[in-house]
Every structure is written in C-alpha cells, then in structure tokens.
C-alpha cells in the first residue's frame, strides 16, 4: 500500500498540510488545486501535476479530495473531466472534506458503480496538527476498505477511528465541529467578562486551563485570541457551513435543539459585520466592541504550533 500512487485534490489550509505529510514521507503524490502557486510549490518538492481530476483518477491508485464544501466536491467528482470519468475498478476515493453524510453516500454509490471503493475520512484537531501528521481521522466505510487504506491514514494522522458505514464519519465530524464552535462562542463570552472585570488575562487563561472549564479549544483558540492574531486558519463562512450541516442533521432527525440555531445566528451576525473570510476566533469582536475593550494577554503565539513529535498513527478502538 505504501507503494501506491496517491492523488490529492485541494491544497488549502488543511489539504495542503495533509498532502505535505504524504510528500514528506516519500509517497508517490500527484496534486491538483485551482491555485497554480500551490500546485507549483508541491511540484517543486517532488509531486506531479495533474491536468484535470479525470487525468488524476486515471493515473493513481488512491484519490483524496479535501475541499471547502459539498458543492465543490460534487463538481470535482461529477464534471465532464471529473474524477468519476477516470475511475476504474479497484481504486479508492477518500473524501477528507467536511461534508454532508447523504452527499457522501450519493457520490459513494457512483464510485461503487465503477467498481471502486469510497470512504469518508474527515479530520479533526487543527491545521497545526495536520501539518505534523498528528491530526485525528474519522474513517467511514466498509472494514475491508478501511484495512486497505489504513497504512496511508497512519501517515496522514496520529489517531484513526473506524466509525462504521459510509457517511458515519461525516456525521461525527459535524458533531465535533459543532462542539468546537460552542466552546469558541462560550470562551469569547468568558474571556470578555474576565477582561471587563479587570482580571489579568494571562492569569485568567491559566485558571481556565487547569480547571474543569478547560477544553481543546481553550488551549488552542484562546491563545490566538489573547495574542490578537485570531489566526486559527478557519473562517466564519466555514463555521456557518459546518454548524449548518449539524443543524440540518438535527432537523432531519427531528431533534429539537436550542443552542445550534442560536450559534448560527451569532456567526451569521459576525459574518455580516466582518465578512465571510474573517477568522472565526474574531467572533469575540462583537463583545469587544459592545464593551469597549480589547481582550489581549502577553506572550501568546500568533499561530499554534504542534509540539507533539511526529509518529506513526494507530487505530483507536472504541471501548465496549
């Protein structure tokens, strides 16, 4: 499997770092992206350029997509010169985008009709962990398909969880992104209250970090908030897309949620104020402006750096 030819479409904030892990570990990699400069950088480091999604599918054994929306994935797969036009029996398509479960199942059926295998493999843990190969990966699809691609997933990430049937990983990913956004919105409120109360923000950060109020989001996004960069390589339009997927799932299942619609309203207001490409941690600006403060500390990093050394991944087995 490690001798397989791998194709990667989507070299953005997350995809570029995942593809970089493959290249860094000596994989035979073909790449494609709408931004020529991103492709050129990979080619300069030893990757091959694909003329089209179809051409890539005709050249590789495993094809990975990591794109910003379900619509973008559908276009890459179904266009005239798309992936499906070039797929052949025995290949594997890994969808690593955050997408809708019904959409991955629809496209997966089209992949299966060509004799290929489909898996949804979204990632979680932040760009800084994607860059070092230490990100977590959810993998939905048959066990046979999972076993086949597991060696590649162990290069891409540290912790790999087989979630069950195709689409299950995408559902879990939108759940975790929803929770991440809840924590971010709550931290924006908590940090602003600390600031208005006159607390030392470095002390407030540490108090939350060592307490029952701690979370992964606090240990990462609170740091770039307090630095002032607010740069976590994620934007408000992507938050709205992801939480919208979770909210749509809850409505489909007829689960009467209260926080999810409120969260969408908060970030839609943030998008109206600051634009769709505003960094998501800057949702705290709504409160800073309302209170006439700037929530900052000292000595915090402008971007997160993964200090965990890169190591081969492993499968996480749920307790029973």
Q: Which residues are catalytic?
A: 173
Work out the number of other CB atoms within 10 angstroms of the CB of residue 316.
13
CB contact set of 211 (below 8 Å; sequence gap of 6+): none
* Contact status, residue 303 vs residue 147, Cβ threshold 8 Å: no
User: Torsions phi, psi of 111, nearest 5?
Assistant: -65, -45
Expressed in angstroms, the distance from the first to the final Cα of the chain is 30
d(CA 63, CA 57): 7
Separate counts of helices (H) and strands (E) for the chain: 14, 10
Q: Quick one: how far is CA 320 from the chain centroid?
A: 28
Sole residue written with tokens 């890994």? 94
Beta strands in 45-173 (DSSP E): 48-49, 62-65, 92-95, 117-120, 123-124, 135-140, 157-164
Report CA dihedral (66, 267, 221, 167) to the nearest 10 degrees: -30
* Contact status, residue 157 vs residue 315, Cβ threshold 8 Å: no
């Amino acid at each position: 499997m490690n001798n397989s030819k791998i194709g990667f479409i989507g070299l953005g904030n997350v995809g570029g770092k995942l593809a970089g892990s493959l290249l860094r570990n000596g994989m035979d990699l073909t790449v494609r992206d709408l931004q020529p400069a991103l492709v050129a950088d990979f080619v300069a480091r030893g990757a091959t350029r694909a003329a089209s999604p179809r051409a890539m599918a005709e050249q590789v054994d495993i094809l990975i997509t990591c794109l910003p929306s379900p619509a973008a994935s559908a276009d890459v797969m179904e266009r005239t010169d798309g992936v499906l036009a070039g797929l052949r029996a025995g290949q594997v398509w890994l969808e690593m985008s955050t997408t809708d479960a019904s959409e991955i199942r629809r496209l997966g059926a089209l992949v299966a009709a060509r004799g290929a295998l489909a898996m949804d493999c979204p990632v979680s843990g932040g760009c800084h962990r994607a860059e070092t190969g230490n990100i977590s990966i959810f993998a939905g699809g048959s066990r046979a398909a999972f076993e086949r691609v597991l060696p590649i997933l162990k290069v891409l990430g540290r912790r790999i969880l087989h979630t069950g049937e195709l689409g299950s990983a995408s559902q879990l990913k939108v759940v975790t992104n929803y929770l991440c956004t809840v924590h971010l919105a709550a931290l924006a409120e908590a940090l602003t209250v600390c600031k208005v109360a006159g607390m030392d923000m470095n002390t407030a950060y540490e108090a939350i970090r060592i307490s029952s109020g701690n979370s992964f989001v606090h240990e990462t996004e609170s740091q770039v908030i307090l630095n002032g960069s607010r740069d976590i390589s994620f934007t408000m339009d992507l938050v709205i897309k992801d939480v919208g997927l979770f909210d749509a799932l809850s409505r489909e299942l007829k689960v009467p949620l209260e926080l999810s619609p409120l969260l969408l309203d908060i970030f839609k207001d943030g998008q109206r104020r600051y634009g769709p490409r505003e960094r998501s941690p800057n949702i705290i600006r709504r409160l800073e402006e309302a209170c006439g403060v700037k929530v900052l500390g000292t000595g915090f990093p402008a971007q997160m750096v993964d200090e965990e050394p890169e190591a081969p991944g492993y499968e996480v087995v749920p307790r029973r």
